[in-house]
Amino acid sequence: MLKFISQYPQPLSVSIMWYTPNCPDGGDWTKKGWWNLAPGESKVVHAADLDDVNRYWCYFAQAADGAFWAGDIARMVPPEKFEWCEWTSSTDATQIGYRLQDVGDADDFTITLTP
């Protein structure tokens, strides 16, 4: 399982991306969002045994005050809840940068978002 814990003092939203070979709408990854976390809250965003899916996962988080946790894997995402193949987009989508996370051979992994 993949779990996020917010230790940030503002509400924040999280999106993830995971390996999905031959995703039906194109590409080899699925992106999904948004999970909203209040300060101190935790949420499981993927219940699978992580290393059975892939050792690499991606995430992006943004707080209400504009702070963000990002990387250089650019993909388009909408402002509303979604689950899309990596190259799917819409007219109201914006580009974010996913951060790559190596979970190794872990079945479960927790990412703590801190200031």
Q: What is the pLDDT of residue 96?
A: 98
Domain borders along the chain are: 2-113
Q: What is the pLDDT of residue 57?
A: 98
Q: Using an 8 Å Cβ cutoff, are 27 and 76 in contact?
A: no
- CA of 24: how far to CAs of 10, 21, 27, 28, 106, in Å? 36, 9, 8, 9, 27
Q: What is the pLDDT of residue 7?
A: 98
Spatial distance between the Cα atoms of 8 and 1, rounded to a whole number of angstroms: 22
This prediction has a pTM of 0.96
Q: What is the pLDDT of residue 97?
A: 98
CB atoms near residue 30 (< 10 Å): 18
Single-letter amino acid, residue 57: W
Report pLDDT digits (tens) over 80-94.
Answer: 999 999 999 999 999
Report pLDDT digits (tens) over 13-62.
Answer: 999 999 999 999 989 999 999 999 999 999 999 999 999 999 999 999 99
Q: Using an 8 Å Cβ cutoff, are 30 and 82 in contact?
A: no
Q: What is the pLDDT of residue 83?
A: 98
DSSP-based three-state secondary structure for 108: coil
Q: What is the pLDDT of residue 16?
A: 98
